[in-house]
Amino acid sequence: MTGGGLGPAVFLDRDGTLNQDKGYVHLWADWEWLPGAPEALAKLKGAGFRLVVVTNQAGVAKGLYTENAVRELHLLANRDLAGRVPAALDAFYYCPHHPHYTGPCSCRKPAPGLIERAAAEHGLDPARSFMVGDKLSDAAAGLAAGCRSILVLTGHRRAEAAAAPPDLPVAGDLAGAVRLILAGG
């Protein structure tokens, strides 16, 4: 990707999109990359996309783990990724809130706050970017921020596809989403 102005990115949900969704993953021992995810990320990096994780982490609000645990897991995941493929994630943004525990916020997906903040802080153009996730709330956040969204059927979200709008692209996994992205969306 070349050209002036703001750059393109792929915003990525975490649990169920990049790694196995085992429920409140916050320890490195519980992290397991989904098959093909590291290689798919490397293809996106090779095509010039910035890679930004945007994830809801309600376990923080529920007192199950700390924000430090989230940051440490992200550091370890990125280190592991760089050791597997020639790629690294450019940034991680997480929402530590949950409406039942902390009240409403502007960063919990489906709100676009995490994407908007990342775009502003990293010079990214949502109109040239994609949001990939396994929940309709991920897709909604991307669309609200001005991105093109793709729903993946990994994680526990196969039922999400049945409720997806007919114009929302659906891919079997991250590798399938990358094929759609590299084909122009």
Question: How open is the CA angle 31-106-22, to the nearest 5 degrees?
Answer: 20
The residue ranges of every structural domain in the chain are 9-182
Residue 4 has what pLDDT?
55
Fold observed for domain 9-182: Rossmann fold (3.40.50)
Residue 3 has what pLDDT?
47
Position of tokens 């153009």?
Answer: 125
Judge whether 32 and 72 are in contact, CB under 8 Å: no
Is 13 noted as a catalytic residue in this protein? Answer: yes
Could you tell me which residues are beta bridge partners of residue 50?
9
For the chain, the average pLDDT equals 94
Residue 121 has what pLDDT?
97
Residue 89 has what pLDDT?
98
pLDDT one-digit tens code per residue, 126-149: 999 999 999 999 999 999 999 999
- Residue 71, pLDDT > 70, answer yes
pLDDT one-digit tens code per residue, 43-53: 999 999 999 99
Residue 83 has what pLDDT?
96
181's CB contacts (< 8 A; 6+ apart) are: 10, 44, 47, 49, 130, 132, 150
Sign of CA pseudo-dihedral 145, 140, 169, 53? positive
| Active-site position among 15, 21, 134, 173 | 15
Is 15 noted as a catalytic residue in this protein? Answer: yes
If you average pLDDT over residues 53-77, what whole number do you get?
A: 98
Q: What are the structure tokens assigned to 169, written together?
A: 């692209």
Which amino acid is residue 77, in one-letter code?
Answer: A
Q: What are the structure tokens assigned to 154, written together?
A: 């990994």
- Residue 2, pLDDT > 60, answer no
